[in-house]
Structure 1
């Protein structure tokens, strides 16, 4: 809009655009972004190469340092996966729902879940409207702003037949994490286990990361049986895809 109407000299619009990271997300709350932010890509890339390259790094050195950085990142992920599989983070409450997440999620993601369970202490139900199998809760949350106590209202819908719970904050829809307001309502409804849809496979500690099947230059994977079988299957499926793509009928049947 600024470019179309030549409004580059408009101070208000210019400042609004510069601070777009603060207001754009509110229009994307219904879309799942797995917690990614607008600036995360550049920030993560800078952190990825931090300590490995600088403005004086040559192209030849970059290739070598890229492998070193990738190896370091993979080793950290492997160590984190090992820790999640072989140790247990203690729960901060007696909630069976928290224990459900403890059982499935990696330490890093479970820590985020625990933050919502801790935040539940600042939430309370201020009203409920019951209609058939559905209940609409008004949940108030206390928070401190500029050393002053304030309240914020959230509307949470609970379906008793499916145990689906949805909050106006849209934290689950946006980040895939069940919010403190939903936790408050689930406790009010005496729910002891959430449906499987609230436990995302991408963050389960039992999942093997797909990139671990790919050969890399920083280590020797030739003798890894998983890598060998993966390579052979990829070759086979590639041939099948070439044959199947010639016939729409075959693809539909498949």
Structure 2
């Protein structure tokens, strides 16, 4: 990899692997697999209510301060102040709590299941009875299948046009031109969700404008989007763009307010 370390690493929590990642991949963000955490929580916590509260703390997209508040309420409600496994998990919270993953790109990976899916795929072609001379032929067949599927989705992205459904036609059309079909379908959904957001206020500062947004039927929810007109750059307090790699409805709401195309 030319000494380029990965941005993000997801593992099952193996202690030796964690130590190696901390030592070798100094700039990488290490995340623990949510599937393994789910199983461990179910096995270690005393009852289903405590387990569900833990899972809520793990997956809720909140700020670190809100997470700390949720955690304290969970510990007190279920009388878990002296629970050894829970103390151990709290010490590792920055590796599994979604609140501490905000703004870091994991390409929507939360578990090691992508590796398991690849293992399952190759199991269709090789097994313990496969002889060594057959192995390379079978792996080549598997790769041919993967490449064929990849060519199909590439063709769809390059030579077909999706149906545009929003009134922000120019924005949606550009998204259709530059994104793969799978990614465009996600972005198109966010463009449609934009109409549920309301601009409450905007303030002008030197070099940028700050917009405050709320959502229809959720008046207590607030987001702030900072927009820099000079380079048309914007950043939302939700950090979803930084986390998942594509713009969310908050940003499209500001694009509409600024008449961007």
Q: Map 1:57-68 to 2 at 5 A.
A: 57-58=129-130, 60=132, 62-68=135-141
Question: What's the CA shift for 1:29?
Answer: 3.2
Question: What's the CA shift for 1:13?
Answer: 3.0
**Matches of 2:94 and 2:129, distance apart in 1:** 33
Q: Which residue pairs with 2:242 in the alignment?
A: 173
**Aligned counterpart for 2:195 among listed residues 113, 121, 135:** 121
Question: What's the CA shift for 1:169?
Answer: 1.5
1:163 aligns with 2:232: yes
**Aligned counterpart for 2:86 among listed residues 8, 12, 22:** 12
**Matches of 2:92 and 2:122, distance apart in 1:** 26
Distance 1:20 1:50, change over 3 A: farther
Whether the aligned pair in 1 keeps the contact of 2:94 and 2:100 (CA below 8 Å) is no
Distance 1:57 1:93, change over 3 A: farther
**Matches of 2:221 and 2:150, distance apart in 1:** 38
Q: Map 1:53-202 to 2 at 5 A.
A: 53=126, 56-58=128-130, 60=132, 62-95=135-168, 96-142=170-216, 151-192=220-261
**Aligned counterpart for 2:107 among listed residues 23, 34, 55:** 34
1:74-100 deviations in whole A, cap 9, x for unaligned? 100001111111110112213111111
**Matches of 1:14 and 1:57, distance apart in 2:** 42
* 1:135 aligned counterpart, secondary structure: strand
**Matches of 1:27 and 1:57, distance apart in 2:** 45
Question: What's the CA shift for 1:47?
Answer: 4.9
Q: Output the TM-score relative to the length of structure 2.
A: 0.58
Distance 1:28 1:117, change over 3 A: same
Distance 1:67 1:151, change over 3 A: farther
C-alpha RMSD of matched pairs (Å): 3.1
Unaligned runs of 5+ in 2: 1-14, 16-43, 45-82
Bigger Rg, structure 1 or 2: 1
Unaligned runs of 5+ in 1: 144-148, 193-254
Whether the aligned pair in 2 keeps the contact of 1:123 and 1:141 (CA below 8 Å) is yes
Distance 1:133 1:20, change over 3 A: closer
Distance 1:161 1:74, change over 3 A: same
* 1:126 aligned counterpart, secondary structure: strand
Whether the aligned pair in 2 keeps the contact of 1:84 and 1:107 (CA below 8 Å) is yes
Whether the aligned pair in 2 keeps the contact of 1:129 and 1:135 (CA below 8 Å) is yes
**Matches of 2:259 and 2:212, distance apart in 1:** 17
**Matches of 2:219 and 2:87, distance apart in 1:** 30
